[in-house]
């Protein structure tokens, strides 16, 4: 069975990191199972299509500057619809920033509120990918950089763009899971060079 | 007409980090308990999770929920070597503090205090002051690594691994720091974006 995290970090059977990951076998197997259920072999393409799933994963990886994961999703998406890759690449420059930032509910933590980019899809991007995927990319930007700014309005925007409640759950899982996946890759890549 | 979110204007939203037990209300309709199938129960992993509106919302994608839950249990509760239980909860709490998930931080700071009862004040200092709150060198290394990995893009680098090694953590423990912080970058985003915390019951 191929394992995407092993592939992206460069872990071969018998490597020290292979043994370390093997001590948490369920975490390893179910990270891959989640990825498969969300991206490679979802059971329900009605709630989110293969193109939408690959595009959202690519977008989150690009926004997070997760180079190897972004390259992987880029290949996946290009094989499905190269025009979406082009549209997302064109949108990325104006969307990149660093996080997390955002506002807390008013009170003692308000002194920690930090403003930042509230990105919305351009008319060109909306035209290229459609209103429904554009809304998901806006939501993914929110969850990537300023998750504490989440709101019922943000979910309503997804519903209004044509996502169902089941679809919103799947899109949310996809964005959130990709943030796990890219951090395991980032962390293990650093550890690989520093092992003792 | 599109589907509508559920709004809770009556909730007085918790506005500070706490170790108290908060509630959580969803902004989307959870799957009704009476509609749960055997596949859904497999996704819930433990049947009693059907009582939770959070898990009954996530069970709308049961295969993903099942994989998520089993990964969660292995990362936090598999104690075959590696990082201590308290430090795994600390990593989750530091991640949640950084992302601003008041609900997740309440659960995992409380769990950290349960695992290390003498350190409740240290945990509270993390909640009150975040990474600026002083901790001993072992907890500082864990917190700083979790916070660096939580930044977007990640700031986690060789200095964090060196600091964890220097205070005595082995590579297996560092894998646990990485996976527990990474996992809460998943969990925080779900908890923050699909509903909101409610005040402790009085």
Is the pTM higher than 0.90? The answer reads yes
Q: CA A181, CA B140: separation in Å to the nearest integer?
A: 24
Residues 6+ apart with CB under 8 A from B147: B94, B95, B98, B130, B131
Chain A residue numbers touching B174 (CB-CB < 8 A): 191
Q: CA B20, CA B201: separation in Å to the nearest integer?
A: 9
Closest chain A residue by Cα to residue B80:
A23
Q: CA A150, CA B194: separation in Å to the nearest integer?
A: 8
How high is the mean pLDDT in each 10-residue block of chain B (202 residues)?
93 97 98 97 96 98 98 98 98 98 98 98 97 95 98 98 98 98 98 98 78
Q: Does domain B83-192 have CATH number 3.40.190.10?
A: no
pLDDT tens for A28-78 read: 999 999 999 999 999 999 999 999 999 999 999 999 999 999 999 999 999
Q: Is B179 on the interface with A (CB under 8 A)?
A: yes
Q: CA A19, CA B115: separation in Å to the nearest integer?
A: 27
pLDDT for residue A1: 67
Q: CA B195, CA A165: separation in Å to the nearest integer?
A: 13
Query: Which of B60, B73, B162 has its CB closest to that of A169?
Result: B60
Chain A residue numbers touching B176 (CB-CB < 8 A): 24
DSSP chain A: ---HHHHHHT--TTSHHHHHHHTSHHHHHHHHHHHIIIIIS-S-TTTS-HHHHHHHHHHHHHHTT-HHHHHHHHHHHHHHHHHHHHHHHHHHHHH---B--B-PSSSGGGGG-B--------HHHHHHH-HHHHHHHHHHHHHHH-GGG--HHHHHHHHHTT--HHHHHHHHHHHHHHHHHHHHHHHHHHHHHH--
Half-sphere exposure of B106 (CA within 13 A, CB side): 20
Number of folded domains in chain A? 1
pLDDT tens-digit profile, chain A (196 residues):
699 999 999 999 999 999 999 999 999 999 999 999 999 999 999 999 999 999 999 999 999 999 999 999 999 999 999 999 999 999 999 999 999 999 999 999 999 999 999 999 999 999 999 999 999 999 999 999 999 999 999 999 999 999 999 999 999 999 999 999 999 999 999 999 987 7
Query: Which of A43, A148, A173 has its CB closest to that of B192?
Result: A148
**Inter-chain contact A173–B61, Cβ cutoff 8 Å?**
yes
pLDDT for residue A47: 98
Query: Which of B67, B78, B185 has its CB closest to that of A183?
Result: B185
Asked whether the ipTM of the predicted complex exceeds the cut of 0.85, the reply is yes
Q: CA B1, CA B14: separation in Å to the nearest integer?
A: 33
Residue A42 belongs to domain spanning = 4-194
pLDDT tens for B92-139 read: 999 999 999 999 999 999 999 999 999 999 999 999 999 889 999 999
Q: CA A116, CA B200: separation in Å to the nearest integer?
A: 31
């Amino acid at each position: 069975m191929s394992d995407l995290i092993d592939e992206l970090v460069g872990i071969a059977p018998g490597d020290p990191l292979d043994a370390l990951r093997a001590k948490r076998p369920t975490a390893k197997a179910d990270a891959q199972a989640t990825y498969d259920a969300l991206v490679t072999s979802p059971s329900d393409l009605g709630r989110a299509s293969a193109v939408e799933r690959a595009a959202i994963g690519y977008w989150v990886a690009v926004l997070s500057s997760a180079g190897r994961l972004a390259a992987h999703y880029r290949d996946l998406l290009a094989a499905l619809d190269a025009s979406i890759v082009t549209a997302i690449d064109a949108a990325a420059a104006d969307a990149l920033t660093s996080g997390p930032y955002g506002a807390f509910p008013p009170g003692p933590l308000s002194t920690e509120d930090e403003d930042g980019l509230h990105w919305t899809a351009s008319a060109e991007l909306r035209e290229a990918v459609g209103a429904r995927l554009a809304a998901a990319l806006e939501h993914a930007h929110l969850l990537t950089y300023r998750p504490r700014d989440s709101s019922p309005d943000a979910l309503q925007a997804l519903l209004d763009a044509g996502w169902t409640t089941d679809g919103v759950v799947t899109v949310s899982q996809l964005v959130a899971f990709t943030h796990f996946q890219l951090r395991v890759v980032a962390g293990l890549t650093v550890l690989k060079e520093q092992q003792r | 007409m599109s589907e509508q979110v559920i709004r809770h204007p009556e909730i007085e939203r918790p506005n500070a980090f706490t170790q108290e037990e908060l509630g959580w209300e969803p902004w989307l309709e959870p799957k009704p308990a009476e509609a749960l199938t055997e596949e859904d129960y497999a996704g819930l992993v433990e049947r009693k999770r059907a009582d939770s509106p959070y898990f009954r919302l996530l069970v709308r994608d049961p295969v993903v929920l099942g994989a998520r839950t089993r990964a969660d249990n292995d990362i936090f509760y598999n104690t075959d070597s590696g990082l201590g239980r308290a430090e795994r909860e600390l990593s989750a709490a530091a991640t949640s503090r950084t992302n601003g998930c008041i609900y997740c931080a309440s659960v995992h700071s409380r769990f950290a205090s349960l695992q290390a009862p003498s350190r409740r004040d240290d945990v509270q200092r993390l909640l009150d002051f975040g990474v600026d709150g002083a901790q001993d060198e072992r907890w500082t290394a864990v917190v700083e690594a979790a916070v660096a990995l939580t930044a977007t893009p990640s700031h986690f680098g060789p200095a964090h691994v060196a600091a964890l090694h220097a205070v005595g953590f082995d590579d297996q423990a560092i894998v646990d720091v990485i996976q527990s912080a990474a996992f809460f970058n998943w969990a925080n985003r779900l908890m923050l974006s699909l509903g909101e915390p409610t005040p402790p019951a009085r």
